Structure 1
Amino acid sequence: MHICHIVLNNLGGAPKVADSLISSQVKAGYEVSAVILTDLDSRWKVSFNAAQTVIVMKIAGTLFYIGGAIHQIWVAIQLNRIIAEQKPDIIICHSTFLTKLFYLSQLIPGSLSIPYISYIHSDYISESQIEIKTNPISALIQNLSISITSRIDMQALQQASGIVFVCKALYQRFANIGFRHPRIVISYNPAIDDINNQPLHPTAKSWFNNSQLITFVCASRFHHQKDHKTLLKAFAKVSEHNLNIRLILLGDGELETEIQALANSLAINNIVLFTGSVSNPRAYFSQSRAVILSSHFEGLPLVLVEAVASGVTFIASDCPVGPRDIFEVLKCGTIVPPSDIDLLAEAIIDHVKTPQQKIDRFDQIAEFFSEASCAKQLEGLIQQVVSQ
């Protein structure tokens, strides 16, 4: 059987999961290919090397992703051509957006009829709730565009041969808007080990080695979704009466300069470290007091699972999807309302006052968040689809 994974890029959690699934499927004896829509970012180590065939479409820019209906149709036509050449037996689309593109590609006359599974990694509903225009005409056009796009997205999902949701809350999020499908699997994404032993940032290492300091870590790209502003404001508040705390921010992104400026304006730039992207976040997690995630919305934030797998607890915003699932399954961590500076500050203070304790959730992680468990769930769904 030839399985083809369609992935947007090699940045973030979904590509890591796709890469893990590809490796597992190749080991199981399947022919596996990967189609990547955009050029691979050299800063990230996800390269899909296990796949027998990797096709990078190198679609320029982000216009096709954020809007641009004509551009999206053009991408769908190119995708149709590639799929026709590869002739896979089944397709795995690693987002709602990619599901739509593949669905559109199959509407082209003469297309191969190939079953596809939609792998939903993110909170599509929160992502679609973009800032509303204030101009009445612009708002009308925007609402119309969102409505049309949403209908196509839902139609694409309905036509899928199967749906994988990465947590229960994400499935419920879709169910609450009336989405139903006869073949649904809920499969937690795997917590994947660090890929190398890159040395720690020198400043981070000195902080960890200083027994008088209490160091927290946040690992997330600098994007509006991750709400670093609330985190820094809460941390600044805590630092007023706790001079021994430190914060390490792992990652990069378009808002990094803005967040650095905020740290300067809050006068905490000397206790907040920006390391850039690292390939060994667990090395930082394992030496921290706790890992903090202050997002507005998430899918299944594996950073929290990886923190617990590293032996430490976490503080996370109780956004609509993700952190609460992990909190309930692993029975550890602290969750606070999103965007609440005061309550996040209180949670940090609680961890400052509490002696560090190593968290042991090996059995739960092996059961719910292992690569083998994730691959087995998808394998079962694929067998259902191809045998129908």
Structure 2
Amino acid sequence: MVYLDSQNITLPTTMHICHIVLNNIGGAPKVANSLICSQTKAGYQVSTVVLTFLNSQWILSFQAAQQVIIMKVAGTSFSIGGIMHQIWVAIQLNKVITEQKPDIIICHSAFLTKLFYISQLVPGSLSVPYISYIHSDYISELQIEREKNPISASIQNLSISTTRWIDLRAIQQASGLVFVCKALYERFSNFDLNERPILISYNPAIDDMSNQPLHPIADYWLKNSQLITFVCASRFHHQKDHTTLLKAFAKVSKNHLNIRLILLGDGDLEIEMQALANSLAISEIVLFAGSVTNPRAYFSQSRAVILASHFEGFGMVLVEAVASGVTFIATDCPVGPREISEVFKCGTIVPPSDVDALAKAIIDYVETPQQKIDRSEQIAQLFSETSCANKLEGLIQQVVSQRA
């Protein structure tokens, strides 16, 4: 384990809030970092436990916390070995929490909620109330590809059933719950959560983390008035369905030679998607720009932001697009994009995995003059960092008062 003392600050003796996050990449850690900053400014003692390695590009994350503890544990899976590893991680987590002695825990996913719940089963554990902060569509995440071998399938089904039971038990036993949108809360409506304090709070639209220069090719495309450039910001993972996006873009490019696509992010499927772009003969008009810390600088100059996911927790990238003054094209996931479209009264929603529908939506944007949008009032009211922090503070006070 690695302990990083980010600041030597003497705070008054106040509530100690501990945030547990998986890593510092993606939407949930960005929200956690925003909350940590707000809570530290409010005078709380705040610590952060990170389970896996930090990506050096995002190393400034969590710097407002008085202490950052990096456990450096390996990844987990749905296999039996994965469950045993999760139990081992939970035991290590129990040691950290016992040493930290926080007054309340914030678990930033259903998975982390499970790990903390298991850690509380260790004999002699420090009893700490915990809030489960649900950022993702946990139900869709469980619908993984099934094994074809009968024996492997049986083991997988047992593992999934066990994991699901523990996950739901952990969520049901939480002292409070936060859902990042209404649709996500509705996905959990059958899980007997009525006796728990529940908060529905949109994630904040966070400004770019840096002023780094744009990728040279992206900068040229975005500033070239003869080109119509779209941006997609999402990791290369099956969930994000870059395959449908690239096929739709290839279809549109046959009759619209001036379109371009910038892909921001990285991930396990990046090389496979680059190969697909080559096979579709669109590698010259699709840029794999890698992970960036200033996506809104790209969004603000684009024609629209595209999100082709099979499922989302909310799709915060779409809110960030709107905050940047542009609209979006997104798939109608069980959770997220449609609710965002209804809140802002903008955007185009298409069925998931539908190449033709996505291509048609892109063509509509190409053939329609661009209009900048202004949703600053809704952003300030519903998606500010202050609003998010204040709502969570209210929930924490409610949880603590119930235990007093």
SS in 1 for 2:159: helix
**2:254 corresponds to which of 240, 244, 252:** 240
Residue 129 of structure 2 is aligned to residue 111 of structure 1? no
- Per the TM alignment, residue 82 of structure 1 is displaced from its structure 2 partner at its CA by 0.7
The whole-number CA distance in structure 2 between the counterparts of 1:38 and 1:208 is 36
Letter in 2 for 1:276: G
- Alignment partner of 1:293 is 2:303: no
Find the counterpart in structure 1 of residue 55 from structure 2: 41
Superposition deviation, residue 178 in structure 1: 5.4
Q: Is the 8 A contact 1:10 1:46 kept in 2?
A: no
Determine which of 267, 275, 278 is the counterpart of 1:264.
278
Unmatched 5+ stretches in structure 1: none
Q: Distance in 1 between matches of 2:134 and 2:266?
A: 24
SS of the equivalent of 1:382 reads helix
2:79 corresponds to 1:91: no
Flag the 1:296–1:231 CA change in 2: closer, same or farther, 3 A. Answer: same
Residues 161, 178 of structure 1: alpha-carbon distance in 2 compared, 3 angstrom cutoff: closer
Given that residues 217 and 250 in structure 1 are in contact (C-alpha distance below 8 angstroms), is that contact kept between their aligned partners in structure 2?
A: yes
> RMSD across aligned C-alpha pairs, in angstroms?
1.2
Offset, 1:301: 1.2
CA distance in 2, matches of 1:266, 1:180: 50
**Amino acid across the alignment from 1:37:** L
Structure 2 unmatched runs, 5+: 1-14
Q: How many angstroms does 1:208 deviate by?
A: 1.6
SS at match of 1:212: coil
> What is the CA deviation profile of residues 112-158 of structure 1, one whole-angstrom value per residue up to 9, with x for unaligned ones?
11100000000001101111122222222211211111111111111
Letter paired with 1:247: L
Which residue of structure 2 lines up, in the alignment, with residue 349 of structure 1?
A: 363
1:78 maps to what in 2?
92
Query: Aligned residue for 1:325?
Result: 339
Contact 1:65 1:72 in 2 (8 A): no
**TM-score normalised per structure 2:** 0.94
Shift of 1:335: 0.7
The reply on whether 1:62 has 2:104 as its aligned counterpart is no
Residues 261-320 of structure 1: CA distance to partner in whole angstroms, max 9, x if unpaired?
Answer: 000000000100111111111110000000000001100111100100000000001111
Within 2, Cα distance between the matches of 1:251 and 1:115?
Answer: 36
Aligned to 1:284: 298
Q: Quick one: distance in 1 between partners of 2:360 and 2:195?
A: 42
TM-score by length of 1: 0.97
Please give the alpha-carbon distance, in whole angstroms, between the structure 2 residues aligned to 1:63 and 1:363: 42
Structure 1 residue 46: Cα displacement = 4.9
Question: Do the aligned partners of 2:236 and 2:268 also contact (CA within 8 Å) in 1?
Answer: yes
Which is further off, 117-126 or 133-142? 133-142
For 1:23, give the aligned amino acid.
Answer: C
CA distance in 2, matches of 1:162, 1:116: 7
Which amino acid letter does the alignment assign opposite residue 316 of structure 2? L
* 1:164-188 superposed Cα distances (whole Å, 9 cap, x missing partner): 0001111111114555443111000
**Equivalent pair of 1:16/1:46 in contact (CA under 8 Å):** no
Q: CA deviation at 1:257?
A: 0.5
Matched residue SS, 2:57: coil
C-alpha displacement at 1:324, in angstroms? 1.1
Which residue in 1 is equivalent to 2:169?
A: 155
Correspondence for 2:328 among 304, 314, 318: 314
What displacement does 1:64 show? 6.0
Q: Provide, for residues 316-372 of structure 1, a one-character-per-residue CA deviation record: whole Å limited to 9, x for no partner.
A: 011111111111111110110100000000000000011000110001011111101
Match of 1:121 in 2: 135
Query: What SS does the corresponding residue of 1:23 show, helix, strand or coil?
Result: helix
Counterpart CA distance in 1 for 2:163 and 2:155 is 12
Aligned counterpart, 1:365: 379
